[in-house]
Structure 1
Amino acid sequence: MTNAKTFELRQPLAASLLALLSLTAAGSALAATDVVLAIGGQPETLDPYNTNTTLTTAVTKSFYQGLFEFDKDLKVRNVLAESYAISKDGLTYTFKLREGVKFHDGTPFNAEAVKATLDRVTNPDNKLARYNQFNRITKVEVVSPYSVRITLKEPFGPFINSLAHASAAMMSPTALKKYGNQDIAFHPVGTGPFTFEEWKQTDFVKVKKFDGYWKKGYPKVDSITWKPVLENNTRAAMLQTGETDFAYPLPYEQAATLESNAKLKVTSGPSIIVRYISFNTLQKPFDNLKVRQAINYAINKEALAKVAFGGYAVPAEGVVPQGVLYAHKMPAWPYDPAKARQLLKDAGYPNGFESVLWGAYTTTTSQKTIQFVQQQLAQVGIKLSVQALEPGQRTEWVQTAPDAKTAKVRMYYAGWSSSTGEADWALRPLLATEAWPPKLNNTAYYSNAVVDGAIAKALTSTNDKEKAQLYREAQEQIMKDLPWAPLVTEKNLYATSKRLSGVFVMPDGNINADEISVAE
């Protein structure tokens, strides 16, 4: 009797325990959410200070944060900095830092961490790609544990915008000391919502939830797998099969098909991404202005926007896209193949010439673009061999070419977004004399004293009207000299599964996943 009675009393208890365990298991299953984000390029590093690739910094934002960031409209907002004050002479910035934040390795975020991070990038011996973005910093001082003072060599109007750029990430000083300047690229330690877990360089980057994240309630998923998928149609197919919850960029020609899928949401957003071809102006025949003009006349930008971009692009209206502060809108260069042939004849090339066009990317859209340009220029007698470069080739052959005189680049198709939101970073890294590779990305090896002077003066100006006029002068002079063929400004086209929210593509082509969430 006793045993029977005991059994009767414990049965409800056992049932309750089983139910509780079942609910707990179900809750764990729901919480264990991995989101796959398919992107169109491979990160070449996980060091945001040593890349000029927007998609790379989209990945590094998972685990790194800066003092500031941009919102969806490229307006600056505070992150690890709570406030700042500027001296009257515009040389000294004092920042009050957020307290109670820790890096993933347990190191406190404080003024010492800011100093260690910025001292690294401003040391020219470290040879970091972003050195020129921060080289106006002359001194970083710890005022108190949560106050830091930064002194500049000269006034620098876009300084806060530079600190809001995705490259301006705060790094654990403990990790920097442990791994050093080079190996930190493989062992990133930040304050972001996710910690770094694994990087298989051609396959994926995986990050997992940081339980000690300072923003309560975040992140809302357990892990993210960033999946480089170079082929446009494969990214689209992965959306259709549910292998990914997000894909960017999309194959423009498949937008209508994807929109018809009830499980997907397709978004077309504004962008500040300009696609262009630079000419090596130090080398024949591209040292001849008439040749550069001829190539611009020979390319039908309207047709290119339709053929390669599915209509999700417009002909470039100058070298700085609309939406960038101080962009000067100019008429798109007209299509006139007859005038192109005449200019080539006037330049001494009545039968055209042969050359090489490299594409900076291996994506389908990039390959369509360089093939379209190849076909267009063939119609005026210019015979091009084209090659889409792998990331390693791009770095070695173009970005780190040690000597301008022996650089092998001739025509180079690339894209750029001014990720600081203003004209300085749309012009200086690409068209100033100081930006010749390997320092930055002036792959045209273009040099003009008017342009250099206007850019330099605008940097130190605090007068908006003066800055607008200076940047206008620079842009007008560039279009007179034509070191580029500005092609199109594309639209950002991406898709998400309807279960996913909190992920969007910003105008500069970066990806914001701060609010990432999944509805089961």
Structure 2
Amino acid sequence: MKQSSSSLRWASALLGLAALAASGTALASKDVVLSIGYQPETLDPYNTNTTITTAVTKSFYEGLFQFDKDLKVQNVLAESYDVSKDGLVYTIKLRSGVKFHDGTDFNAEAVKFTLDRVLNQDNKLLRYNQFNRVGKVEALNPTTVRITLKEPFGPFINSLAHASAAMISPTALKKWGNKDIAFHPVGTGPFEFVEWKQTEAVKAKKFDGYWKKGYPKIDNLQWKPVLENNTRAAMLQTGEADFAYPIPYEQAELLKKSDKLEVVATPSIITRFLTLNVMQKPYDNPKVREAIGYAINKEALAKVAFGGYAFPAQGFVPQGVKFAEKMAPIPYDVKKAKQLLTEAGFPNGFESVLWSHYNNTTSQKVIQFVQQQLAQVGIKLQVQALEVGQRNELVETWSDPATAKVRMYYVGWSSSTGEADWALRPLFASEAWPPKLANYAYYKNDLVDGNIAKALVAVDDKEKAALYKAAQEQLYKDLPRIPLVTEQNLSAHAKRLSGVFVMPDGNINVDAIATSN
């Protein structure tokens, strides 16, 4: 039934787009449409944990620093910085002559105003924990800001390079307030905000006052959330979209045959997990969690749902992230899984619910595959792919762990700071239980907590590596999350388009986006 429905939608999409092409309606040469597989839930970079959302917000916003395609830190609105010997004081020299879209000057006061907002716990911003080690922000003069930490924090510049650490116009913040700024982004980025129709598109236009001379090279930019894989592919083929991510894995070979398209597969640091609420039965039993790990064939999952553009996850921190510990995937062993369930007191399995953080078609394939796999060992699952509002209400903002309704949860994560801290602390530290961060397992382990905390203030890389290794080994024993696969980033774009690429964390860079006829 679902396959038939999908086929009808696919045919409808092709017919509709073909009619559009036949009518003579076409994109202007300097108008670009980016088709994405997820729907942004906000345009406030400080109030999201979703990579694709920060990709959209980067159209409007810039930070002091940013990552390049190899996750190396680059200066943006900062020209340089110095760190005190004790690792507590960062003095940052700022770029001068930069304007926000509303004409407000970018300066040290703007940096202070922006960071003070996220540091104010009354604002309840999701990214608070990324910056909560900041003790004080001071504007020394228009082009110099001094940030004093409460304690040494090795990856601090990496945190400032994260796409969430965007500089927001103080004038706009005062006008729109802490909540409504989410619908009225005003930054220093290459594009100005035009409008956001949440299920249709985020529209932007060229910012004529952009400080990088000659940029942007296009006039108009649209981000279109298109949840169905086949429709994204159809939009590329008919020219309604210039770029699409992610590409339906099963259609990669077909799209490669087009002389108008280029398909690009690149390594990622995105790992997909099955999260288990360890505060609730039966997932409070470590043998049940281990059994689930053995019951899922990760090799087959990579082929069935990801078209071979993925491989079994090699631990809790993906390779390419600093201090990642490479671990053997949990082997597929149905007999072992049944044995563990019997030992745990569930010889006939049990019934439960599996939610997906995403509702795109690839994720639906994943949860259906997991449903089938676990049925082999007697675990009967009802599966549901959550909409944005549902996951926000039922998972991300739930404030009482004892009554949390989440049980088994399919979700992904990328360590967008390029360092193990952001691969571990938001997911496994006890301070990261919702609504603060993304420890949806409600997991707590004193060794893991302690090692994450110690690594944050350690200055010696050997010491940090040892601490992170021990934490990852403990996670492998406890399995609050089952690592499933690490995927490749698969995108495609019209050959007329250049300067746009997917970064290892799944973010999208449009800094140098351009078109040719």
- Alignment TM class, shorter chain as reference: over 0.9
User: Paired residue for 2:18?
Assistant: none
Contact 1:102 1:213 (C-alpha < 8 Å) held by counterparts: yes
User: Paired residue for 1:275?
Assistant: 272
**Aligned residue runs from structure 1 range 88-487, under 5 A:** 88-487=85-484
Distance 2:142 2:118 in 1: 21
Distance 2:174 2:184 in 1: 12
Identity %: 76
Return the offset for 1:32.
6.5
| 1:10-68 residue CA offsets vs partner (Å, 9 max, x unmatched) | xxxxxxxxxxxxxxxxxxx9986210000001110000000000000000000100000
**Aligned residue runs from structure 1 range 64-103, under 5 A:** 64-103=61-100
Contact 1:31 1:221 (C-alpha < 8 Å) held by counterparts: no
AA in 2 matched with 1:169: A
Distance 1:472 1:236 in 2: 41
Return the offset for 1:487.
0.2
SS at match of 2:251: helix
Contact 2:30 2:514 (C-alpha < 8 Å) held by counterparts: no
Contact 1:274 1:415 (C-alpha < 8 Å) held by counterparts: yes
Say which one has the larger Rg: 1
> Which of 13, 34, 41 is the matching residue for 1:44?
41
Contact 1:164 1:420 (C-alpha < 8 Å) held by counterparts: yes
Return the offset for 1:514.
0.4
Change (3 A) 1:31 1:343: closer
Distance 2:116 2:197 in 1: 30
Distance 1:266 1:467 in 2: 38
Distance 2:27 2:490 in 1: 30
Distance 2:338 2:315 in 1: 23
Contact 1:170 1:191 (C-alpha < 8 Å) held by counterparts: yes
Distance 1:378 1:241 in 2: 41
SS at match of 1:413: strand
SS at match of 1:326: coil
| 1:148-202 residue CA offsets vs partner (Å, 9 max, x unmatched) | 0000000000000000000000000111111110111111100000000010011
Contact 2:29 2:516 (C-alpha < 8 Å) held by counterparts: no
Distance 1:111 1:160 in 2: 17
CA RMSD of aligned residues (A): 1.0
| 1:305-336 residue CA offsets vs partner (Å, 9 max, x unmatched) | 00000000000111110011100000011000
Return the offset for 1:484.
1.1
Distance 1:495 1:353 in 2: 42
Contact 1:37 1:227 (C-alpha < 8 Å) held by counterparts: yes
AA in 1 matched with 2:136: K
Return the offset for 1:448.
0.3
Distance 1:416 1:338 in 2: 30
Instruction: Give the TM-score taking structure 1 as reference length.
Output: 0.94
Contact 2:32 2:221 (C-alpha < 8 Å) held by counterparts: yes
AA in 2 matched with 1:440: L
Return the offset for 1:249.
0.2
> Which of 49, 52, 56 is the matching residue for 2:53?
56
SS at match of 1:369: helix
SS at match of 1:188: coil
SS at match of 2:307: coil
Contact 2:27 2:240 (C-alpha < 8 Å) held by counterparts: no
Return the offset for 1:262.
0.5
Return the offset for 1:100.
0.4
Instruction: Give the TM-score taking structure 2 as reference length.
Output: 0.94
SS at match of 2:409: strand
User: Paired residue for 1:14?
Assistant: none
Return the offset for 1:430.
0.4
Distance 1:406 1:463 in 2: 41
Distance 1:470 1:198 in 2: 46
SS at match of 2:208: coil
Distance 1:126 1:98 in 2: 28
Return the offset for 1:83.
0.3
Contact 2:398 2:435 (C-alpha < 8 Å) held by counterparts: yes
| 1:362-402 residue CA offsets vs partner (Å, 9 max, x unmatched) | 01110000000000000000000000000000110000111
AA in 2 matched with 1:490: E
Contact 2:217 2:512 (C-alpha < 8 Å) held by counterparts: yes
Return the offset for 1:410.
0.2
Distance 1:236 1:392 in 2: 26
Distance 1:177 1:30 in 2: 37
Distance 2:28 2:344 in 1: 67
Distance 2:230 2:160 in 1: 36
Distance 2:284 2:27 in 1: 62
User: Paired residue for 2:16?
Assistant: none
AA in 2 matched with 1:442: N
SS at match of 2:203: strand
Contact 1:31 1:222 (C-alpha < 8 Å) held by counterparts: no
User: Paired residue for 1:4?
Assistant: none
